[in-house]
Chains A and B, each alone.
Chain A
Amino acid sequence: MNVERYCLFPSIATYAYCDNYSEIKDDLINWIYSYQKKNPETENKSNQGGWQSSDLFYRNEKSFSRFYNYIESSIHSALSHHTVKFRMNNMWININRKNDHNAAHQHPHSHVSGVFWVKTPENCGNIVFESPHYFDQYINIFTLNSDFSNNTNCSFNYTFYAREGNMLLFPSPLRHWVQENTSDEDRISISFNLDNF
């Protein structure tokens, strides 16, 4: 008997290795800490502890434009499989200190969301996505053998390692969280939402 199995309607995540990050890394980290010092108030969204900037901070910060251009150009290269150019809707900085994490959340008012990892010491917390089929197809997924599950990504969760200089783009409705930062150093990332209006 011939059997064919199809994984229907997948969610597309794009993991991008950005070029020449080492050339801007130190300047970007310094810029972020300097900005945080001037703007110590945190937004309280998905972050549990830690500091999150305003999501429009980049619009009034001319000195950030160098970094903004780097991130925006990386986004456009990474999204070359789409037929439209997505536009930046909002962007914010996250600093997760030791023991901080981000609770499970989605990114409403957006089509594609993403994160650029600025500083990621070992064990600073990876990003974990939850299957949209977690409830409705629980038994179907739970009973898959591990080979099939691993080969097809049919699982309850999928973890991407947070690595500085890399970027992850994903569908905005896809629920995700950031694990606790168990390192002694800060974990820094820049998140953003894209739309096509």
Chain B
Amino acid sequence: MDKKYLLFPQKLIVHDCEDFEIYQEKLIKHCYMVRDEEPNSWDYTMRHGWQSSTSEFRAPRFNPFLEFITKNIRQSIVSYGIDLSKTNFCINAIVLNINQPGSYQISHIHPSAHLSGVMWAKTPKNCGNIGFQNQNCFSLSSIMINLLPDIQAIEKIQPYFYVEPQEGKMLLFPPELRHHVETNLSGEDRISIGFNILFDH
């Protein structure tokens, strides 16, 4: 019997946010309030939607949300398998995203972070999945297009992997993993909070 090894995988964690129901409405209101105050989108990756500055989270008014988000990031980092008794983490950027109908986020990575993530606050149906691109999509292209579909699906040796956003969930992913957000085809806004994390070494 042949043996198969799947080497050097990339890990994604989907975490159920604790106390989300307490914060959801307030967090959504906060995003709209910041947008009303600063309507010009930073457009780091956003097209036709709105994105806050990465330092908005440092304002004192964000503190209650920061506490809630930090608690859930801590839990997802533990799920990721990181030993927090040996290292500590800090959040070095948070971006509030309002993807209006018709908006999307272009393909990007998160340099100068050790882990990245997103928490979904409002996700109507068809508001746009997050699509991760295989890092080996160039070098393995010939192999990927010729793999049997069931092997592709089981072994995840495929060009893209899509995750459907769900309200109250947090997704943690390696920052070098290229991703984009599909066009929001719902009739409502899609609201999410993206973040970057750094660890002490």
Contact = CB atoms under 8 A, between A and B. Distances in A.
Q: Do A and B bind each other?
A: yes
Interface of A: 103-104, 106, 108-109, 134-135, 138-139, 142, 172-173, 177, 180
Interface residues of B, number: 15
B185 to A, nearest CB: 13
A172 B138 CA distance: 9
B107 A177 contact: yes
B190 interface: no
A172 B175 CA distance: 24
B141 A108 contact: yes
A134 B107 CA distance: 13
Contacts of B13: none
B167 interface: no
A172 B141 CA distance: 13
B106 interface: yes
Contacts of B175: 135
B137 A134 contact: no
A195 to B, nearest CB: 12
Interface of B: 47, 106-107, 109, 111-112, 137-139, 141-142, 175-176, 178, 180
Contacts of A139: 111-112
A106 B137 contact: yes
B137 to A, nearest CB: 7
Contacts of B180: 103-104
Contacts of B178: 104
Closest 3 pairs between A and B when the two form their complex, measured CB to CB: A108-B141, A138-B111, A104-B107
Contact of B138 (A106, A142, A177): A106
Contacts of A177: 106-107
A108 B137 contact: yes
Query: Which of A103, A108, A134, A138 has most B Cβ within 10 Å?
Result: A108
B109 A135 contact: yes
